[in-house]
Structure 1
Amino acid sequence: MDLQDQLKNLFPDHVSDEREPMEAEKSKYWLQDDPIICKYEKRKGKPVTILEGYNGADSDFKKLTKDLKSLLSVGGSYKNETIIIQGDYREKIMTYLKSQGFKVKRVGG
């Protein structure tokens, strides 16, 4: 007879919470104190969204780039510690990054 059964015998009218204690949610990425800078530029006449200021590992950069590209269904790349996403998706990117626990700063327009 384990402790749960003993408690049920002692308190038969008690309705127990069957939920597991929740662990603190961990982010998939390394979080930093400095904000990520999200800016908009036009390159060769086409709009791009540029993310700068993330100082995590290269694997985290690649994972974040891949997740952003699949979230937005657009192309993009990771070069020279910047993430370049094709198109103007500043608002969607900023809400996604904030939901992951990042601090984000919008630069320009």
Structure 2
Amino acid sequence: MAANKISLADWQAQMKPEGQTAAVQTDANLVYSTDSGRITSDNTARKPTGEAFSDGAVRIRRETKGRGGKAVLTISGIAKPHDELVQLAARLKKKCACGGAVKDGVIEIQGDKRELVEQFLKAEGFKTKWAGG
């Protein structure tokens, strides 16, 4: 086992090609980094998609907890890819004349515009339910 140990300088010399510094080269065999923890071979960031509920309804929930008392509508249960959720959120924000975002497959709309959001989603062909307060 002791034969496999080498110094850091020797390891860096082995890893860099001729004429290239060690700081420029990336190591495919690196399994741990103090910067970001474990490094996986799949570096593609997966964007979450929405998940549908078993009854097929889209849930419209009004939340204020953890948001400084301000009302935010969360719309969950839309089983579409992230890009389509972003486009739907953009149309919703234009219709409601407010801000919002898509986080973890859930659309967030600022303000309490449940009726307007419900009408819009029904016009888009979704079955809706109000959830929470």
Coarse TM-score class (shorter-chain normalised): 0.5 to 0.7
Aligned to 1:97: 121
Q: Is the radius of gyration larger for structure 1 or structure 2? A: 2
Tell me how far apart the structure 2 counterparts of residues 108 and 80 of structure 1 sit (CA, whole Å).
19
The normalised TM-score by structure 1 is 0.67
The aligned runs of 1:1-109 (5 Å cut-off) are 34-42=56-64, 43-109=67-133
Unmatched tracts of structure 2, length 5 or more = 1-51
Structure 2 counterpart of 1:67, one-letter code: R
CA distance in 2, matches of 1:107, 1:73: 23
The sequence identity of aligned pairs, in percent, is: 36
How many corresponding residue pairs?
78
Equivalent position SS for 1:84: strand
- Runs in 1 of length 4+ with deviation above 2 angstroms? none
Gaps of 5+ in 1: 1-31
Considering Cα pairs closer than 8 Å and 6+ residues apart, tell me whether 1 or 2 has the greater RCO. Answer: 1
Q: 1:102: how far off?
A: 0.5
Distance 2:93 2:63 in 1: 18
Distance 1:46 1:84 in 2: 12
